[in-house]
Structures are given as structure tokens and as C-alpha cells.
Structure 1
Amino acid sequence: MASRKVIVFGPTGAVGSAAARTAESLGAEVTLAMRDTAKTIPGLDGAKEKKGAFERTQADLTKPDTVHDAVSKSGAKYAFIYLAFGMPDNMKSTIEALKSAGIELVVFLSSFTVRGDLGAIDPSDIIPYVHAQAELNLEEIFGADRFVAVRPGSFASNNLPYKAAIEKGEVKLWVPNAKLDNIVPEDIGTVCGTVLAKGPQDDQRAIYLYGPSLSTQNDTIMTLAKALGKDPKIKKADEQEAYKMFTEERGMPPHLANYMIRQARKAAPEGSDYHVFGTRIEEEHMLNVQNYSGRKATTLEEWAQQVFATS
């Protein structure tokens, strides 16, 4: 039986790298589609790449012609893609290029904020809106049963910018009681790679993924601080400070910073267990990483030891 041929766009990222490595470990031939083919891929050194069923090719999701060429050259029938922000057509031309080049199934890295009637999401809700527009284009071009939207919660790696403040001894947080699931990017990629190589379970077309437990922003910071051997003070930021943190320290454009501030105001009060930054989540979805990977989702403590304690 011939190996399944897949193409992974963005393999230099934590999610894309894990997706590529997982798909290859499950028997797929993997084309690594990269803007810069000379870049290092996390978890895949030269020897492993040469030994495995990997091949590099140049492509950029914002340039549909390169996408078409990369897919055609690879012979892949299954593709992993992520949202390319800023495309005026919400990736429609890129998705058309995937289809015309022979892709039969797309695994799309979306967001847990996408839910309900996708066409009714307000453009001011920028994160769910832009992901939903790409999903709608996928449905239009591929059909509802030929793409899988993987919708992860709050990335543990979003906490990396706090490291410097933790080490200095004081961290300011906007809505410290807002809860996070802190899913590890590598776990997301493992699920994506499994779907690429084996297909979705029970014909799932939207797979919500979360970390194994929820913790407040305050408790999240203290977990990371413990891995660093620090005991910082936590202070609540006001709205002006939050805006500055998002725009100046994290480099977010103003409309995205305003969305983050507005969304955090919806954070559920203490006692509301299954909310992530004000978005209600389904408890059973917290098992999806294990359902697809066969192992429990990485905890925040484990991730902190891997990333913070060793850095």
C-alpha cells in the first residue's frame, strides 16, 4: 500500500513541526512547505530529516502560485495550513490553489472562538471572524466534508512574553482571574498530524482542543514563576496599561489589542469552571488531545519545566 502523501505549510512553527513529525511517524510522506527552505525545523535535525520521509519545498501561503506549484510538485493529497493574516480575500485564492493542484483534504488551524453561525460573526470580533471567513471559504471550495477545522484554546506559548517580567519580580495582568487552558502547541500539532495521516475520528469536521485543566492568569504566572525559581508580585493592569502591553510589548495592531481587552472583560467570575477568557467550552473537549494522540495532554507544569526551566 502506497504511503499517504501530505504537505505541511509552516513547519518551522511549533504546531507545524509537530504536525509534520507526527504524520511522518504514522507512515506519511511529508513535504515541508516553507518560505525559507534553509530555516531550522524544531525537533527535526538534519540527520532525522534525511533519514525520514521528508522533503522541503519553497512556498508562501500568501502567494497562491507558490502554493499551487508546491502541491503539484509534491503530489500531496492532504494539506495542513494555518491562517495567513492580512489576505484581502481571506485566503480564498490560496484555498483555490490547493484545490486545483490536487489536494483532497485540508486540515486548517483555526480557533476555539469560532462557534455557532460562522456567517453571523461580527467583524469586530477579529479572531473568530477572520478564522471563520477562512473556514467558510474552505467549505465553499472543498465542501463541508473535505476539510477539518482544528480549533485550539489558549496557547501556553502566549505566556512567553511574561518571562522577563517574572524575572524582574513584578507582573501586570489584565483580568487576573480570567481562566486559560494553556494548551501546548506541540499537542495541537500532534493532533493535526494524526488527522493528516489517518483522517478525523467519527467524521469530525471541527475538533476543539484544550489543555488538560484550567487555571487563572494569576495562577498560570505563578506556575511559570515556580519553574524559574521566582516569586513575583502580581498587579492588576488598568485598561491603558493593558493596551500598551498588547501593542508595544507584544506588537499587536490596535484593532487586535482592543479585541483582546474587550474579550477579557467577559471573563467568567470565580466559580464558573469551564470558560476560557469568557468563552464557554465543553468539558469533554478537554480529552480530545488524548483521544487523537493516545497520551494525556501536556500540563502547564510540564511545559513550564521544558521551556522555562531549561531556557
Structure 2
Amino acid sequence: MILITGATGTIGSHVVRLLSEQGVPFRAMSRRAQPGHVRADFEDPASLERALAGVDTVFLVTVPPRPTADHDLALVRAARAAGVRKIVKLSAIGSGGIFGGQSIGAWHVAAEEAIEAAGFAWTMLRPGSFASNLLPHRALILAGEPVPNLAGDARQAVIDPRDVAAVAVAALTGDAHDGQRYDLSGPELLTFADQASILGRVLGRTVRIADGTDILSQLPAEVVTGIDWARAGGTAYLTDHVRQILGRPAGTFEQWVRDHRTAFAETP
């Protein structure tokens, strides 16, 4: 039995779909009530105990309001008590690096170290920027308003969330990837302007961008460090891990846009 945390999220929802298609037994966990999901909260130990009953493997995704390892660590404690064998954790590219004297993704590293120390079999997935990150700006795009650009002119290895999910499923359903950390990237390096241009071409409309660094003052310092690192070119590298694991190339940003163009369409 595999427990999928964050089962309604960007990656978790695709993991649920893929496991369903493969007929693999799993349990989807959500913080809010969802049909067919077990309801549990990282801040409620009793709910985690119920969610983990009879579970062998966990896909661990946490998105706390402010960067902290607390939710990951709560799951690790509960999983150890429940006799879980393996954890596949969704981490982030660059975690463990230092930029400007500050640690990048320190909360992810703390969780990764706790998972290792607890004696689980493990795989750490560290993807780059998701192709889907433009979806929250749909209203601005439809209105012809500029989308805030936090990345500057930096190039990033934008990755299709479906590829991240497929790699996660490979790690969850076999042992070949135990003990591995994978930096996951798409097949090309793109600036934010490149992404806007591709999106605009596919949609047949102009997608404008504007400097969005004024938003940084509203974000936690830990997040700003990661953004500054990316703006300085920290994420401008490609890996072949998706191809190695899945036996096919990683999907392009343009293909993701074409497959999701209706998500950017005008509401009837």
C-alpha cells in the first residue's frame, strides 16, 4: 500500500492518476475532505496514524504556509511508528547549496536528513521550475495584463509536472532508485520571457511580462534566497535523469502548453 500525500496537488494528482492506471494499490491523503481520500493533517498525529495504517511506502509532499520541515518531520515520526519501509520525497532543485551566505532549501534538507537517519529506503526528487507555474496567472493573461517575472533574465530547466510524477511512480513501485537524489529537469533552458513567448504563440495572444521583484518583500526570507539564487543562474543546467529513469525524453514546455491550452481559454 502506497500513501500519497498532497494527493490533490500539482504532482500528487498526477501520481494518483498514474497509479490508478497501473492498478497499483494506494491511499490518497488530503487535508480537506475529498471523495475517495483519507483525511489527515500533518499537525494532527492521530490522523497521520490512521492514514499510515498498513502502508508500506509514502510519497511525501508538504507545502506549509512558511518554509519549515515540521510537516515532513511529523510524517517521518508517524511513518516510523507505523512500520513504513520507504519514503519518496518531493524536494526542490538546489537544496543544500549556499547562496549569499544563506542555505538554499534548508527545510527540505532537514527533512531529507531525517528520512535517511530514520532508516527508511528513500529517493529524493529535486525538480526545477514547473511548466504549470503560469497557470495561477491565467486571469492576468486573459485580461492582457503583464505577468510578474521573478526570474529576471535567468534561464531555467522548466519541467513538465507529469514527468516528475512519472519519476515518482517509478521510485514508489520499484527499488532501482532507492538511495538516489535526482535533479529533474526539462530538455531545454528557458527564460521567463521565452515561456511567455511560447505560451502566447500557442494561445494566439500576446502574453506580456513585467518585473515582479516588488513581490519579494512579501515573501519569507528563505524563499527569497532561492529566488535570488535562481535569478543569478543557479538553475541554468540540464540533467538526463528523466530519460534515464523513464526511457524517454523529458517533455518540452511547449508540449505542456499545447496539452493545457484549454486551461487558459476564455470561460464560456
TM-score, scaled to structure 2: 0.84
2:200 maps to a residue whose letter is: A
Per the alignment, residue 174 of structure 2 pairs with 198
Give SS of 1:198's match: coil
In 2, Cα distance between equivalents of 1:122 and 1:200 = 36
In 2, Cα distance between equivalents of 1:193 and 1:96 = 23
Shift of 1:62: 3.2
Larger Rg: 1
* Structure 1 gap ranges (5+): 40-54, 268-277
> What is the RMSD computed on CA atoms of the aligned residues?
2.8
1:216 is aligned to 2:191: yes
Conserved? CA contact 2:105–2:226, under 8 Å: no
Q: Pick from 105, 118, 136 the counterpart of residue 128 of structure 1.
A: 105
1:81 is aligned to 2:60: yes
Shift of 1:306: 2.0
1:150 is aligned to 2:130: no
1:279 is aligned to 2:235: yes
Shift of 1:291: 2.8
| Residues 219/98 of structure 1: CA separation in 2 closer, same or farther (3 Å cut) | same
Conserved? CA contact 1:123–1:129, under 8 Å: no
- What CA deviation, in whole Å up to 9, does each residue of 1:155-212 have, x standing for no partner? 11122244444441644534542112221112111111121112334x4421221112
2:251 maps to a residue whose letter is: T
Written as runs of structure 1 = structure 2, the 5 A alignment for 1:229-244 is 229-235=204-210, 237=211, 241-244=212-215
Per the alignment, residue 137 of structure 1 pairs with 114
Give SS of 2:126's match: strand
Give SS of 1:183's match: coil
Give SS of 2:169's match: helix
1:299 maps to a residue whose letter is: T
In 1, Cα distance between equivalents of 2:114 and 2:63 = 13
TM-score, scaled to structure 1: 0.73
* Structure 2 gap ranges (5+): none
Written as runs of structure 1 = structure 2, the 5 A alignment for 1:17-166 is 17-38=13-34, 56-72=37-53, 75-85=54-64, 86=66, 89=70, 91-115=72-96, 124-125=102-103, 128-142=105-119, 146-166=121-141
Shift of 1:280: 5.4
| Residues 265/78 of structure 1: CA separation in 2 closer, same or farther (3 Å cut) | closer
| Residues 169/229 of structure 1: CA separation in 2 closer, same or farther (3 Å cut) | farther
Per the alignment, residue 255 of structure 1 pairs with 221
Conserved? CA contact 2:155–2:235, under 8 Å: no
